[in-house]
Amino acid sequence: MNNLITIYMNYKVDRLIEYGTLIYEDSKFIREVFKGYFDTYIDNYYYGIFNTVDTDTYSLETLQVELNGVMSDMMDDYRNYELRVSNAEFAENMKIIRDLRDVSFEIIKLDDLNSTDREDLESRVSTIVNESSILNDLIGNRLSKLVTLVKETNTNSNKLLNYEDEFYSLEKKKFISSEIEYISLKWDIRILDNYKRVMINRIFNDKKFEVKKLKCLIQKVSLYLLKKVLNKEEIKPIFIDLYDSSISRGIISREIYLLIDNPLFRKYVIMGVNYTNYLAHKDAFSEDFQFACIQDFSHINDIYKKVEDIYKEGIFNYLLVLKYRDRERDYFVNYEAEGLKLLVFEEE
């Protein structure tokens, strides 16, 4: 199972390619070229990843520059085929790479049309096509089919984005002096009496189900992030707890990394691990992600040395102070060090 955000973005790319091959023409080579341009658009617009320009802000101007960079790279790569194909095929494919750069730029504008109303989409798609001399020349009598494809894309997207889980939801908790949200999984199963409530709660907290709960939490956080970025809402850093069993059984390396392998997850999600468990399984942790060390300080005499030891590991971006003695509260709340931030729960 792959990351939910990646699955969704791959679907977007596939659909943009369908628009492109409908408007232009279809072949394996054309699809590959379209994919190169649309992957770059996804990186720029949704992930804030730019390969040609030095910026972290998306605009149509920066997209133009980025697509030019992709075009140059694809043309350079294709020159390796100059002696393997006929002169006519080589010239035609080089022309396709150039043409699809401009076609892709215009098709990308269809991605912002999130309506599922046929009449509304006909009007908006027609406007985009009519305002683009490139699309207007290519579309011919296929406008109605393009509207159908866009409507189908939006309908399928909305099914995912509007999905409501009757059994589990996300619960948030705050930290002192931090914008980071601590998100955990809670159950929302409707029950009839207190006996069933106690029974369900006991099962939910059984360590045997920790890995399944973690996977469910990751997918829900992924959907949460996806909605935020699609709605252009502010995204605050998110903290989640990696259950000990997912690490001690090696599941984080085999399975969990597949679920979190996405730029948005890397950028916004901080994963917490118990320090003792971390020391026993150091090889399970990748520096490509953000990690927090979870530590109970209530029984530690030399808290300063403990914090320093954790800092020296170099893998942790944050230190979550699970518990502490009251007299040491100010130290933890006011701690400052380059590369390591302390997180302390707000009092309930």
What's the pLDDT score for residue 347?
Answer: 59
- Kindly give the interhelix angle for 4-23 and 210-230, rounded to the nearest 10 degrees: 40
Higher pLDDT, 179 or 226: 226
pLDDT of residue 133: 96
Q: How far is the C-alpha of 139 from the C-alpha of 144, rounded, in Å?
A: 10
Q: Does 12 have pLDDT greater than 60? A: yes
Q: Among residues 15, 19, 13, which one has the least CA distance to residue 138?
A: 19
Domain ranges across the chain? 4-161, 168-344
Mean pLDDT score, 254-258: 87
What pLDDT score was predicted for residue 207?
Answer: 77
CB burial string 308-345: b at 16+ within 10 A, e below = eebeeeeebebbbbbebeeeeeebbeeeeeeebbbbbe
209: pLDDT strictly greater than 90? no
Q: Is the pLDDT of residue 164 over 90?
A: no
Cβ neighbours of 61 (radius 10 Å): 10
Name the least confident of 226-235, 239-248, 263-272, 289-298: 239-248
Q: What is the mean pLDDT of residues 195-202?
A: 75
What pLDDT is attached to residue 81?
85
pLDDT at residue 1 above 90? Answer: no
Pairing of β 181-187 and β 238-241: parallel
Asked whether the predicted pLDDT for residue 274 surpasses 80, the reply is yes
Strand partners, 295: 321
195 pLDDT band, cuts 50/70/90, is low
**For residue 286, what pLDDT is reported?**
82
The three-state secondary structure class of 285 is: coil
Query: For 120-139, what is the mean pLDDT?
Result: 96
Residue 85 has a pLDDT of 86
- Segment 35-54 mean pLDDT: 96
Task: Please list, in sequence order, all residues whose beta carbon lies within 8 angstroms of the beta carbon of residue 331, skipping any fewer than 6 positions away.
Answer: 303
19-33, 125-139, 270-284: least confident range = 270-284
What's the mean pLDDT in 126-143?
A: 96
Question: Residue 158: which pLDDT band, with cuts at 50, 70 and 90?
Answer: very high
pLDDT in tens, 283-338: 888 878 999 999 999 999 999 999 999 999 999 999 999 889 999 989 998 898 88
What's the whole-number average pLDDT of the chain? 91
What pLDDT sits at residue 192? Answer: 63
Which whole number is the average pLDDT over 56-69? 95
